[in-house]
Amino acid sequence: MINRVILDYFPINEKKINKALLFLIYLFPISLISSSAINNIFITLIDIFFIIILIREKNYKFIKDKSFVILFLFWIYLILNLFFSIDFNNSLSRSLGIIRFIFFAYAIRYCFNLNSSTYLERILNIWSIIFLVISFDLIFEAIFGFNTLGFVSYMPGRLAGFLNKELKIGNFYHGFLFITAAFILMKQKNKLGFLSIIIFVTISLLIGERSNFAKVIISLIFFLIFFEKKLLSLKKVIILFSILIICSIVMLKSQTRQNRFNGQFFNYIKENGLIEYLYVSQNYAHNITAYKIFLNYPIFGIGVRNFNQECIKDLYNDEKLNYNKGRCSTHPHQYYFEILSETGIIGFILFLSAFIYILYSGFVSYLKKKNLILLGSLSFAVSSLIPFLPSGSFFTTYSASIFWLNIGLILALTNSNKHN
């Protein structure tokens, strides 16, 4: 039985280097819940094997791909931008390093289209199993107060999951939720597929990360709108109504979650107004500081990874901000403000051009083929690129890995027949 599974996932006639690359892709989600070091090792090895394969096969067609050209230009700009950085050495590693994520995305594309998409379902099978194990672990933690490894969240109303004290499992969950749900829907075109969406969205609420839950809801709306031709089909209404009821019950049963989602956000806005809420929000303090930095360095920005060096300067003091003294961080916690402040308007235009083109191409392909996995990754990418919603850094390994994995899926499933 085990030998048959191994032969199915690593066929004898497959090249050894392809097997090595596939092994890393199969287990990549595990690297994300392990450590930054393991995650970086996986990315590096995937890139190395992929480049070796390209050289051996003399397969350089992807270089002509419009998406690659725009992404490569963005990377070249980041290299040139080093000479305008306020700290060259600080920017060097991350400016150079973004190329590893571009190759990672194309390695994902390569594997999903390898041998006429032979491995697509196998990769998704393993990813889905890993995601379901993590889902079970989070439900376990929500019930008992600790996860299956004994990890306990230090923050009330938040789940730790396998990431323990880092409290960023919500980003992982959002990144794989709609890929897994779409795969289940493709395999089980019945009530189980729709039930999985309801369960997964509920778990994302239990995790307690407000920003990621907001993105999950945006992704859900996008996914359901384009899932079927009918805008308001019975299935969609049942899913939305069920999620609303279950999430309401979860909120009513937990005072800590009510405080996180209602007391600290909706109730405060209701009582004091949106403008007042912004001034007591630390995310807004990061964002407005990044915007002021952009106004001072509008063309080229201050250089990648230099936000924490610039934000401490007195000229960015704003006594109206409740978090004036907490306005600094390693990054502005929002992709657009990070790109604007650190790479300027030129970098921002290249950034937008690349991802608007990729998302547009993917969406056009989805409308033609109705590939649900493609729709799942598009749903994630669209919500991740919504302005103003807090995010991780675009340049750090953990956030970038999840983002570029979904970009790789979009590239793989957009006119996939052309990439074999």
Span 197-206, pLDDT tens digits: 999 999 999 9
Residues 6+ apart with CB under 8 A from 345: 294, 298, 299
Q: Which residue has the higher pLDDT, 124 or 115?
A: 124
Q: Three-class SS of residue 226?
A: helix
Tokens found for residue 111 = 């594997």
Q: What is the DSSP letter of 1?
A: -
Q: What is the pLDDT of residue 61?
A: 83
Mean pLDDT of 154-178: 92
Tokens found for residue 338 = 């990070």
- Please give the Cα distance from 164 to 147 (Å, whole number): 9
CA-based nearest residue to 402, from 27, 22, 19, 29: 29
Tokens found for residue 143 = 């019930």
Q: What is the pLDDT of residue 278?
A: 64
Q: What is the pLDDT of residue 419?
A: 42
Q: What is the pLDDT of residue 76?
A: 97
| 52-56, 99-103, 246-250, 403-407, range with the lowest pLDDT | 246-250
Report the mean per-residue pLDDT for the chain: 89
Question: Could you tell me the residue ranges of all domains in the chain?
Answer: 60-112+273-420, 130-271
Q: What is the pLDDT of residue 78?
A: 97
Please tell me which of 148-157, 316-325, 408-417 the model is most confident about, judged by mean pLDDT: 148-157
Q: What is the pLDDT of residue 192?
A: 80
Report if pTM > 0.85. yes
Q: What percentage of the chain reaches a pLDDT higher than 70?
A: 90
Span 276-292, pLDDT tens digits: 666 677 888 889 999 99
Amino acid at 57: E
Span 210-266, pLDDT tens digits: 889 999 999 999 999 898 766 567 777 888 888 888 877 877 676 666 666 655 555
